[in-house]
Structure 1
């Protein structure tokens, strides 16, 4: 089997987005940071919305055909792959958080607000952001991983219900726009003025709508990638128009998802073009280790402040530089020593292979000659990939 080419620009962009989240979490601690930069970095939480769109794109590209061809027989394998991708590192970081909580407890600084042991089972099961709590706790960034798990459970039903390949481009674009408007309407009706408002309440719907929009964006890319210049140019114009509208007062809950949707399509269409800086090695590697960066930096900053910082609201630039170097080093270590080995181990586990094969044969026998939706998508060579699987 030929190796699938990689959309390196999207992998690189994931790394940039992860570091935007890092800066978001430390912005109020940087001594002397100009107010304009504080305000800019205060929007770092929006990187998560790009993650959700990108996740839908990646999962549709990697799994839609398999699930459509094999039906629910392929779901156990799909979920195992996704759990292998997100859960081991989450569990490792959660164990680190428990260690911090115990340290606080034995030193007389018990923190039941940020480390509530009664909610620990929810975090172990990755369902803490499914409406069971009203605050972020333990390792705060893991809320989005919890929401992602919900999207993974939803994805097989989406794949079997909708075949974007058989929907006209204008209708796919309309569906993306409708999802953006739906998210905006839900948040505005709930009193949210920004996408970062009340994450425990809106985080899951934020993920599901943007994840679904990402699958539709992938479908557009698949039909336009052979001749990408014109759609990429149009996407850039759309980005500029949305950015100007946002600057002029368009609500964030409407503007940001729409802008990121157009940005994702543009990045996908231009990936692999000559002189694309996002295809380069260093940025690409930051994307490869971005999950470790995203999930590891928050607790590292808690520990860093305990050891090195006297005033958490005025950390010197030198110490901030040291912390950022530690984030990079820890991301490399977590990726190579925890994330990837654990992912390979979970993927190596047998998952009812005989039952799955029998179910697959039954599904193919029932669907191979029934509807056009059961037919495979023909393309030249293996589909491209992103460093996500």
Structure 2
């Protein structure tokens, strides 16, 4: 494997992040996912987890013991936490905004606790008006909470186990995942106090699957390039609902996402798509962590007297493009400088 392969995987991560933004817009408009053209968009999170397992295995399997737990933890904090903070600040500003915000109903101390819990990724699902999200100021932080948990598990245990033990772990996680999908009827959960444990099932299987692919070198050599892998990913996220949906969700996460990671890792990016794929990879995490303040505004706008359904054909595409551009600005002027500063300050290896 060469780093050229990761350009394809990073590009796929960017496509998945854009799909999440569109899904979050559309779930306000069409809450019934069976009628929603991107009703499986929530599965992009499972794809993120699978990619994470693969990339973490590649980056750290050979050196995590040498650098130790704390150096690994520092490296992950520097990579992930600046955008947790930025997303929390944006969520707080949106919450305080007088036109669409909701802060007037809460005391200063209540808002402060919400903000601190978001900053430090401590689940605090207390707002009924926000569907008891684990992180009311920045809803997508729920997956970062589970990403942190599995990263700790990787450093302490998964990085040290034999491939046979990893196989057993993956099989147990697969059973747990299918049970979770059957219990809820889908794999949407993990973000609320009513389905928080679904996040554990989702991250355990998908991160483990990505790690399993890396360690066993299950790489599918192909000439399909970026477009083939992207087509398979979009097929999964745009797939119509079939009955039973819990089984469809389970099969996509169990088999199709690992297949796409293997496919993307086994191909090279075409020169025409190299810069695009690299840029998509770069903006994927900033986009994921900085878009939800606008989604709350959008949800409030739908109940505004001036709202008319005909406006949505313009608002959703324009909003998505705006958020992509916004994420690029955040990446360039906040996230990257902060990471560079922290990496130097904390002597991250």
- TM bin (shorter chain): 0.7 to 0.9
Distance 1:117 1:38 in 2: 39
Aligned-pair distance for 1:317?
1.8
Task: Decide whether the 8 Å contact of 1:101 with 1:110 is kept in 2.
Answer: no
State the partner residue of 1:98: 92
* Match of residue 221 from structure 2: 228
- The DSSP-based 3-state class of the residue aligned with 2:133 is coil
Give the number of equivalent residue pairs.
322
**1:19 maps to which residue?**
18
Match of 1:263 in 2: 260
TM-score after normalising by structure 2: 0.77
Shift of 1:160: 4.2
Matched, 1:291 2:285: yes
| Deviation of the 1:255 alpha carbon | 1.2
- Residue 127 of structure 1: aligned partner: 122
* Alignment correspondent of 1:204: 200
Match of 1:81 among 75, 79, 85: 75
SS in structure 1 of the partner of residue 157 of structure 2: helix
Q: Shift of residue 299 of structure 1?
A: 1.0
Which aligned pairs between 1:1-389 and structure 2 lie closer than 5 A? 4-28=3-27, 38-68=35-65, 70=66, 73-104=67-98, 110=104, 117-128=112-123, 134-136=132-134, 137-164=136-163, 167=164, 176-188=170-182, 191-197=183-189, 199-200=191-192, 201=196, 202-221=198-217, 224-225=218-219, 228-229=221-222, 247=242, 249=244, 251-258=247-254, 259-270=256-267, 272=268, 275=270, 279-303=273-297, 310-311=306-307, 315-350=311-346
Cα 1:199–1:176 shift into 2, 3 Å: same
- SS in structure 1 opposite 2:37? helix
Q: What's the TM-score, normalizing by structure 1? A: 0.70
Distance 1:116 1:251 in 2: 40
CA offsets 1:126-145 (integer angstroms, 9 cap, x no match): 132899x9534111111111
Tell me the C-alpha RMSD between the 2 structures: 4.0
Q: Give the number of the structure whose alpha-carbon radius of gyration is greater.
A: 1
User: Does the Cα contact within 8 Å between 1:305 and 1:312 map onto a contact in 2?
Assistant: no
Determine the C-alpha separation between the residues in 2 that align with 1:36 and 1:210: 23
CA shift digits 1:156-188 (9 cap, x unpaired): 123443133xx5xxx977764543223222454
- Structure 2 unmatched ranges of 5 or more: none
Shift of 1:150: 0.8
Task: Give the CA deviation at 1:352.
Answer: 10
Q: Pick closer, same or farther for the CA change 1:183–1:15 going to 2, 3 Å.
A: same
